[in-house]
Structure 1
Amino acid sequence: MENIPEIVEAIRQPAEVLSQHPDDLGVKQALAKAINAATRALEQLLSVSTGSLEDVNLIIEWNEQVLSVVPEKHAFRATLLGDLSQAYYQRFSMPGSDGNVNDLNRAVQLAEEDVPATRPETEQRMLALANLNQMLQNRYDYTRDKQDINRAISVGEDAAERIPKDSRYTALILRRLAISRGKLFELTHNLDDAERALNTAEAAIKTAKSQGDVPSVVIGSNTLARILGRRFEQTANIEDLDRAVDVLTATVPLIPKNEINYVVGTSYLATLLGIRYEQQGDVDDLSASISYTKSVLQLISNDDTERPVQLFNLANRLVERAQYTGVLSDLDDAVDCGRQALRMVRANHPERTNWLRGLSQFLGIRFNMGSKHLQDIQQAIDLSREAAQVVDGDDMGMRAAVANVLSNLLKEKYDHYGEAADLDEAINIIREVIHGGLPESLPERVYLEFGLGDALHARFDHTGDVTDLQNSREAFQRAWESRAAPLTIRIDAAVRAADVAKEQLETHDSSDPSLLLQYWTEVSSDLDRALSLLHALSPRHMQNVNKQQMLKRFAGLGANAAAAALNAGKEASYALQQLELGRGVISGLVLDLRTDLSFLREEHSEWADDLSRLRSILDSGHSALLTTGSLESGSQARRRAEMDLENLLTKIRSEKGFERFLMPPTVEQLMEAADSDPAVVVNVSSFRCDAFIVDQHRIKLLGLPLLRLEDIQSYAKGLKDRPDSLSSVLEWLWSSAVHPVLNALGLDRPLPLDEDSWPHIWWIPVGPLNSLPLHAAGYHNKHSGETALDCVMSSYSSSLNSLLTGRRQKIPQYDSGPINALLVSMKSTPRRSPLQYAEPEVAMLQKLCPALNATPIRPVQDKVNVLEQLGTCDIFHFAGHGTSNSSDPSQSALLLRDWEKSPLTVEDLRNEKLQEKPPFLAYLSACSTGANEVLGLVDEGIHLGYACQLAGFRHVVGTLWTVSDPFCVNVARKFYETIKTEGKTDAAVHRGLHLALRELRDVQVGATTRGFSNGAIDVVIPDDEGEGMAIPGRENVDSNDDGNDGGRTAQSSGSRKGDGVDDEEPSMNSLWVPFVHFGV
């Protein structure tokens, strides 16, 4: 390696001579020779450098020595200035350095000197300006001195104006100017600055594309995505966020994985996906974000300055996953990642404040979710206080973020330990930041307002000070009004504001009608606001399981909005519309996608084709997307399809006759849903309970003062814990709900079984009432006719919209020709009790098939074959075990022989699309096929019965809970005999089930009152010749070794429940109750 002191001396001597004799050719040649030697020496040093701090120190030392002797106007000086500037910044940012700001200042000084050292209008001048722009940005990142970023923009604009459009450095100049403008936007929150930054980034990309410079296109796309992401954080315009994700998803794969830009792009893509998860709750985004971040961590070394950044990004996502899944080990990993990141950075690292805040938040969440260790909450508070002490006072966003975490932690500590001083401090911290000039548009403000409302409400609970209650409501309302906030926060804020208004009502004189009306109007307004965002919370592109998670937290919103509207004096029709908006959100989106397009096709065939194409993407199941590409590409396809669909719907609705195409039903359309039979929507809320009686001409409101939410919850729980309490439940249902409705309709007169014109009613229960049998309500043991079963035929629907949509579908003539009957009997199911009567039940139906003009099909009893045959059948009859999933109702299933590996779930059935040739009937003779045990989702109709309806079946017979194996045969026999006699019509279905239940009830109740302990009755099954053979009563039914009878209990052959849990056998006089009809 060259001897630098000798080289420096070799430069110094001719340089000094030239200062006196500038034209001496020999001296010039000597200088040139010495500078060439210096160039070789510096290049050689650079080539052998390992990037260590020692090597960088040596590079700076040698460059400084050479720079000190090179003449002021020599061309080599410009090169030295630029290289030395970058070396000083490299040393400043290295993990092993102390981050001396003098290095940063020296980097900027050298870059400033480099500009005049270059010739004007040359590419070297442009590169010097670009370097100065970068160094000013770097110093701004550290000092947040606005003068630096303004100067960086000025320098960048100067370069952009001067550089030729066809220069190979034009894209570089424009990109760095875009970054500068983006950073100014982050500081000022001025949308004009954001627009200028975006325009510049797009110009950089366009220039790079025109020159075929793919690497510059990729890097420019990273810049564009970052600016879009920053603008989204302020405006909450989801299109910016989606576009940023799309840009990076398209360009990141083009970057070689060993390049720094791959790490930068992938890292920011992970960040954006994490943000989108926070906004919309799509767990696919969260999974992709974690995956991308882990891939980045695998690519960078342990001492890379990017590593702590990625560790903290991963920590954030792990916390979110823990909150979604409840898996606490993710929280432990997040805390470890956060601590690791903080240990890796120096005390003056620009992200340290943010990471102190983040780690304190992780510890607080761990305390809240499970640990309850004082050490966690106290350490979290200490870290937040440290962050508050070092935060830059001019960085209002970070001040607000730190204050939000600290105040939440203090509130959490108060909730657990009851120290009022903690609560007072939390309130004071928030108020100090809000009143300290916090901009209204700052995204962090909404969290502070929500936290303030929560803390003030807690203090009201402690002190009873109504001023705190009023201030709490006002804070929640301000949080709602923030357009930049995530939808979940805004909905939460509106709901909380309504709750507080209701509490205010309770603290005032309730005898004042005007005051009552005022408060209920405010409650109604708040809940209507929340309801208006509910559908945006579950966009079409999101997988249904993710929609379920989002909607569970807002269960009952529609019911409360409707009840509040009534208390506020609003029309019953308006309240009913609000109730419909809040129920069946997921199924409503599915129905929209599967609506009959024949009318649209007649008028605009090209739009119908486009709509069919888009809904095929949006209505695809999760597994279908995974077969065509990565998880993220499938998600992208659905998002693009949703945007295209919204644009198409706007065009369709602009045409005459299509103004309300796929829009929520009007009041007139809701009445149309009643058709010839009334529909009764029974709303349940803690505010009040009512029945909306809907017929073709009016919507009548009937108050139900004897029906209360707490009673419904109590009876539903009691029925689950003690099945023998059913009689009292049915009698209470009759008195509190069903009899008042039937009386109002003039249908409370009992009718003989052979009555030709039985009235029919559609029940649409709301909330926890879904788990109770309205169709079976009454005093059955009195033989007085005071029962629903003696007065009307009953059917169920999940919503009026569902009823309306089903009736608008084309109705095939099921009696016009032969049909297929798909018959599945599961006498034996792996790891489940044998079902003695499943095969006789199906054999009975197979014998009836000729009379039904049906061809019986007995498929291989696995998921693939059954699903394949569903598309060709008109009747699907399943006799076997069913299981209801209490954590995720979309995973409730019919159990076939391969159920352990591949159960036939609600989700599978819902994903079937049979609307073009809708099958007539699905008869699910198994346990709980019409039940949903997840209270937060009872209004979503997520059960096996309704899944068959969504798949396209016109009618479904299902069950609310455990059913008895032998008696399933009798119900099915009577039902299909009615179909055989009356034809495959809508009326025959509900009449057939009604007659079957009435007959079974009459025999059972009669047997019970005659003194038979378990109400024994004859079970009719076909013999070998196909004739009916009676097995009289329980005492003659074959017994198992353990003495259990032939009923379908989970451990014997008694019940058709597939979860393997012991159930108390219902008393024999209630075995008819669980059977229900869903239809149109």
Structure 2
Amino acid sequence: MPHVLSNLALSLHASFERRGELGDIVKAISLQQRAVRLSFRGNGDLPRHLTDLGNLYSSRFTHTGVLSDIDDAISVQQLAVDLTRNDHADLPMICLSNLGASYLCRFERTGVFSDITDAISMLKRAIDLAPQDNLNLPARLCNLGTAYWRRFIQTGVPSDIAEAISVQQRALNLTPQNHADTPTMLLNLGNTYSARFDHTGVLSDITEAISLQKRAVDLLPSDHAHLPQLLNDLGISYWRRFRAADLDSDITEAISVQKRAADLAQDHSHLPTILDNLGISYSCRYERTGMLSDITNAISVKERGIALASQHHVDLPVMLNNLGHSYSYRFQRNGELADINKAISVRQQAVDLMPCGHADRTPMVINLGRMFHLRSALGVNEGDLEATLSHYRAAATSPVGSPRAKLSVARRWAKILIQENPRSPDTILSFDTALGLVAVIAGLDQTLEESSGLAVEAAATACALDRTDKALEWLEQGRCLVWSQLNDFRTPLDDLRARDEELAQSIAAVAMQLETVGSSRAQSDANEARTHGNLAKRWDDLLKTTRAIPGFESFLMPNLPKSGPIVIINLDGRRCDALALLDGLDKPILISLPNFSYAKGNKYRSDLDSQLRTRHLRSRAPEEFASADRAASGRAIKLGPAGRGAGTVHQVLRGLWEDIVKPVLDSLGFSLWWCPTGPLSFLPLHAAGIYGGSSPETALDYVISSYTPTITAITNIVNGSRSIDPGVSGLFLTSHPNPSNASVIPGTTKEVRSIFANAEKSGIKVLKIEGDELTVDECLERMQQFSCIHLACHGSQNAAEPLKSRFLLHQGSLELGTILRSNLKNADLAFLSACQTSTGEEKLPDEAVHLAAGMLAAGYRRVVGTMWSISDQAAQDVSVAYYEYLLARQKGGDNPTFDGTHSAHALYHATQQLRDRLDDSEDSLLTWIPFVHFGY
């Protein structure tokens, strides 16, 4: 009898799947429950009847959304798994597969992450147990692919979507063309391609999705219960492609197929969702055409769908949220108070219905906050602004949700506070939250345009509140993210190891893992990308543990060099300030610079850039930079008398002197490190001054300047001071000129040969290799063997992926990422005698994505770079004088060593020598100013 009852129940289930009659599934569950009860009395196969009962509960849940059904499904299917013996034919495989499918269903409803993890685990175990010729293997593969797809939507980890496509393609390949499951296989694979398109934006993905979904639609009879759902998904893919490719035919087709789906599903449980998606398509077309009828139709069909949905419908919160979106559109079109009131009302309902732990709740809270902010502009409700801030705060600090979405709303939260109530306690919290999210998102292989300017804006706010401690903390936390992370991961642990060997080993291990994860993500190792967040949290926990140990309270915190202050120039749209860090002071000194502004900085940067381009001293793109011949670019420079007068370059340098450098020096009066932000990152603070005339005065009259991308970069050099192995103390020189004219000895070659001759006379360890004689691998090997390197070649910066910035050798490219992985323990000095090695990227002024900063991160304690193109003659004059100064100050004896301790002084000396031979014309100034020093 249990088998008879179960067979009848399964037949009713098949009827329900085909016709969609709810009475069939209700009757099927009742019959299967009787079969289970009879099996408990010792008759029949209890595990099989339990897992089939779970399938029926799950099927009813899919159509009604009643959460108790899927809970019951998991409960009985878990019992089936527990009761199944491994030697019981294929039953363990069936029970595991069904349980995994039910976990997947519940995850789709609740968003509880453990459910999707359990689903994937169960489904993988079931597939491992299945023979390759098992008839149900394709369906199980399809379910596993869907589970990977769902997890990808929540986490965004690329390996999940790749695995989803792989197993679903395998499922489709194993399924005969005329099989009843083929349309479902096609649909699921199409949906997965559509999901990947959302992540990558690659049009071929959404085009493949449409192709697969159209095939699925064509295979189903016109009266099939699943046809409306397939048409609905096809419509979604059309409007996704419309948003990407802007083809009117796509949105027209989307509305057409979704209207057909709605007509066919008049009594179907999926009708509310179909109507909601039809409304989204109308909204999409409204965005394109601005036709009021489209947004009115969108509201109409969405309201109809919500009216048909039960209070427990799985998609009801999303549907309410989408309806609010359409009302907000119409409000922005007509300005009717009733529309924005309705938008707030339905979006509040959406938030209230969405479970607190669900990842989709955070964007809904953000949307609700936006509605309050829109209404606050009308001034009809005093509480709207406070409601906006409350919702933005809740979303930004939520433990779930997309970090990028939370970063965006945290910035909005902070911006409103600055405008409305800058002294609110939440102002500090909002920036703390935003910059904390930047640290979570950023990886070592990328920079974040969405965080550009955030740290500077935060620091300006802190300065206005007289919180210089916070200003410094935020500038360090939110700028130069790539290099800052690398500096954190490379730290000496000897003192800690003596105190706690196990803790020091843990820090070293996590640091190495973080560095490896960041460096390899450029090769799309998605499994490593998934672990980055966990490793970052582990790193923070280890730092807290270490700093709790007496004597290690400042572990990995700044320890300022004693030879001079570090000055950060913070330039924001609202104010400009200098923060001076002096050894022995608890807080930075705040020096207000009221006469300088962001607009002035941008104008100076633009004016100087225009002058450089006019003289062919700055290329327009990295590709031009990579292929430019330094000697050719240098021929445009006049090394002699030129027109005098207050030209553009003179005006820029004078402005920097009067508004920034002189006020700072008046407050300090020391040799110092400059740490500029914003447009100032592209301006020569070290050369600021008044040139010519009766009262010339410049920064060079008072200070020897060096630059640092961050405070951490310079303090880590000081903290990590180490003795260089005498065996590698020496100088390696290499030149790679443009080989187009072999009959002329290039300037780079003359430069290197002159330095080599002088170094050889001094008796230090020195090696010179030119052009084709040096391979990339050999260059790396020589960098291990010599503490100092002089690279006379071309370079190319990659702002999007800084670790792919590279030096161009005749036999290949030497990437920064490769240098970083070489772990140069004895690196001391790098002289980058190439064009624009410290130029940076205009769109990312606070990231220092240039080769000079990269070489600091690679372990070199001091780096000489150039802000724009240099001539061969100037490069030779400066570099020869530079090394003469250093060589004269090396330790003698039987085994003379070579180090760059006096590097900043040497560059000052060399550029001053060149300057003394020239006049103060603009062409002459542009000859020696580009040479800059980074590091200690």
Where in structure 2 are there 5+ consecutive unaligned residues?
253-280, 288-294, 615-647, 891-897
Q: Offset of 1:387 from its aligned partner?
A: 5.6
* Residue equivalent to 1:124: 45
Q: Which secondary structure does the structure 1 equivalent of 2:451 belong to?
A: coil
Q: Which moved more, 1:697-706 or 1:369-378?
A: 369-378
* Residue equivalent to 1:552: 449
**What does 1:163-182 align with in structure 2 at a 5 Å threshold?**
none
Q: Is the 8 A contact 1:825 1:838 kept in 2?
A: yes
Q: Offset of 1:680 from its aligned partner?
A: 0.2
**What does 1:524-673 align with in structure 2 at a 5 Å threshold?**
524-538=428-442, 542=443, 544-545=444-445, 547-548=446-447, 551-567=448-464, 569-620=465-516, 631-635=525-529, 652=546, 655-658=549-552, 661-662=555-556, 665=557, 669=558, 672-673=559-560
* Residue equivalent to 1:196: none
2:334 to 398, 420, 433: 420
1:838 aligns with 2:748: yes
Q: Offset of 1:132 from its aligned partner?
A: 2.3
* Residue equivalent to 1:726: 649
1:104 aligns with 2:25: yes
Q: Offset of 1:305 from its aligned partner?
A: 1.9
Deviations 1:867-898 (A, max 9, x none): 23322221111112222335544433221224
**What does 1:165-244 align with in structure 2 at a 5 Å threshold?**
215=93, 219=97, 222=100, 226=104, 233-234=111-112
Q: Is the 8 A contact 1:828 1:834 kept in 2?
A: no
Cα distance in 1 between the residues matched to 2:724 and 2:402: 49
* Residue equivalent to 1:480: 396
* Residue equivalent to 2:914: 1000
Distance 1:858 1:443, change over 3 A: same
Q: Which secondary structure does the structure 2 equivalent of 1:895 belong to?
A: strand
Distance 1:640 1:735, change over 3 A: closer
Distance 1:432 1:793, change over 3 A: same
* Residue equivalent to 2:806: 893
Q: Offset of 1:795 from its aligned partner?
A: 0.6
Q: Is the 8 A contact 1:819 1:855 kept in 2?
A: no
* Residue equivalent to 1:261: 140
Q: Is the 8 A contact 2:343 2:371 kept in 1?
A: no
Distance 1:935 1:379, change over 3 A: closer
2:65 to 139, 144, 147: 144
Q: Which secondary structure does the structure 2 equivalent of 1:781 belong to?
A: coil
Cα distance in 1 between the residues matched to 2:369 and 2:483: 34
Q: Is the 8 A contact 1:830 1:897 kept in 2?
A: no
Q: Offset of 1:124 from its aligned partner?
A: 1.9
1:681 aligns with 2:568: yes
1:883 to 790, 796, 801: 796
Q: Offset of 1:468 from its aligned partner?
A: 5.8
Q: Is the 8 A contact 2:484 2:710 kept in 1?
A: no
Q: Offset of 1:798 from its aligned partner?
A: 1.3
* Residue equivalent to 1:691: 578
Q: Offset of 1:688 from its aligned partner?
A: 1.7
Cα distance in 2 between the residues matched to 1:389 and 1:862: 70
1:618 partner amino acid: L
Q: Is the 8 A contact 2:148 2:161 kept in 1?
A: no
* Residue equivalent to 2:711: 800
Cα distance in 2 between the residues matched to 1:861 and 1:842: 14
Q: Which secondary structure does the structure 1 equivalent of 2:723 belong to?
A: coil
Deviations 1:802-842 (A, max 9, x none): 1111112142257x566343322112268999993111111
Q: Offset of 1:577 from its aligned partner?
A: 1.7
1:1074 to 927, 930, 935: 930
Distance 1:339 1:764, change over 3 A: farther
Where in structure 1 are there 5+ consecutive unaligned residues?
1-76, 173-212, 506-515, 748-758, 1009-1014, 1016-1066
1:821 to 731, 748, 751: 731
What root-mean-square deviation, in Å, do the aligned CA atoms of Structure 1 and Structure 2 show?
Answer: 4.4
Q: Is the 8 A contact 1:918 1:954 kept in 2?
A: no
1:927 aligns with 2:844: no
* Residue equivalent to 2:882: 975
Deviations 1:655-677 (A, max 9, x none): 44445544xx2xxx4xx324221
Q: Offset of 1:533 from its aligned partner?
A: 2.7
* Residue equivalent to 2:665: 742
Distance 1:128 1:648, change over 3 A: same
Q: Which moved more, 1:920-929 or 1:140-149?
A: 140-149
2:449 partner amino acid: K
Q: Is the 8 A contact 1:338 1:359 kept in 2?
A: no
2:2 to 62, 78, 88: 78
Cα distance in 1 between the residues matched to 2:742 and 2:408: 43
Q: Offset of 1:926 from its aligned partner?
A: 1.1
Bigger-Rg structure (1/2): 1
Q: Offset of 1:732 from its aligned partner?
A: 1.7
Cα distance in 2 between the residues matched to 1:833 and 1:797: 41
Q: Is the 8 A contact 2:29 2:53 kept in 1?
A: yes
* Residue equivalent to 2:262: none
Q: Offset of 1:962 from its aligned partner?
A: 2.0
* Residue equivalent to 1:404: 321
1:310 to 180, 189, 202: 189
Q: Offset of 1:957 from its aligned partner?
A: 0.8
Q: Is the 8 A contact 1:797 1:1079 kept in 2?
A: yes
Distance 1:1077 1:273, change over 3 A: same
Q: Is the 8 A contact 2:829 2:861 kept in 1?
A: yes
1:911 aligns with 2:789: no
Cα distance in 2 between the residues matched to 1:862 and 1:409: 61
**Alignment identity in percent?**
23
Q: Which moved more, 1:122-131 or 1:586-595?
A: 122-131
Cα distance in 2 between the residues matched to 1:808 and 1:232: 49
Q: Which has the higher contact order (CA 8 A, sep 6+)?
A: 2
Q: Offset of 1:991 from its aligned partner?
A: 0.4
* Residue equivalent to 1:114: 35
Cα distance in 2 between the residues matched to 1:316 and 1:717: 42
Deviations 1:276-328 (A, max 9, x none): 12xxxx66666666666666655556634243133123202212211xxxx55
Distance 1:284 1:769, change over 3 A: farther
Cα distance in 2 between the residues matched to 1:471 and 1:817: 67
1:838 partner amino acid: T
2:569 partner amino acid: V
Deviations 1:1023-1071 (A, max 9, x none): xxxxxxxxxxxxxxxxxxxxxxxxxxxxxxxxxxxxxxxxxxxx34312
Distance 1:295 1:784, change over 3 A: farther
* Residue equivalent to 1:390: 305
Q: Offset of 1:268 from its aligned partner?
A: 1.5
Distance 1:84 1:168, change over 3 A: farther
1:86 partner amino acid: L
Distance 1:877 1:150, change over 3 A: closer
* Residue equivalent to 2:893: none
Q: Is the 8 A contact 1:342 1:352 kept in 2?
A: no
Cα distance in 1 between the residues matched to 2:745 and 2:231: 60
Q: Offset of 1:737 from its aligned partner?
A: 1.3
Q: Offset of 1:978 from its aligned partner?
A: 1.0
Q: Which secondary structure does the structure 2 equivalent of 1:701 belong to?
A: strand
TM-score of the aligned structures, taking structure 1 as reference length: 0.69
